[in-house]
C-alpha cells in the first residue's frame, strides 16, 4: 500500500487513515499428512482448489489442525 505526501500529512495530523478491508477466505485443513506429503503439497492442492480468481483481492487465512 502506498500513500502520497498529502495523505501522509493528513495521517500525521489526524492519526487516522482510510483503508478498505478485504473479505477473508479461510482455508481449513484438518487431519494428518500422509507419508511423503509435505506442506508444499498441501498448499499447492489448496491453491488449485481455490484458483486464481477465487482469492483475488481477498485476505487468505490458513486454518486447521494440519496447519
Positions of the chain with pLDDT lower than 50, given as ranges: none
Say which residues have a Cβ less than 8 Å from residue 3's Cβ, sequence separation at least 6. 11, 17
Q: CA torsion sign, 34 to 36 to 40 to 44? A: negative
Query: For residues 64 and 67, what is the distance between their CA atoms, to the nearest angstrom?
Result: 6
What is the per-residue pLDDT across 20-37, written as a single tens digit (0 to 9) for each?
Answer: 889 999 988 899 999 999
Q: Residue ranges per domain, the chain? A: 20-67
Q: 34, 36, 32, 35: which is closest to 67 by C-alpha? A: 32
User: Which pLDDT belongs to residue 1?
Assistant: 60
| Strands of the chain, DSSP E | 24-28, 59-63
pTM score above 0.75: no
Amino acid at each position: 500500500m502506498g500513500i502520497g505526501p498529502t495523505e501522509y500529512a493528513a495521517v500525521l495530523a489526524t492519526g487516522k487513515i482510510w483503508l478498505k478491508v478485504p473479505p477473508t477466505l479461510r482455508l481449513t485443513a484438518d487431519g494428518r499428512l500422509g507419508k511423503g506429503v509435505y506442506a508444499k503439497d498441501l498448499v499447492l492442492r489448496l491453491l488449485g482448489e481455490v484458483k486464481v480468481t477465487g482469492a483475488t483481492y481477498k485476505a487468505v487465512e490458513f486454518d486447521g489442525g494440519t496447519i
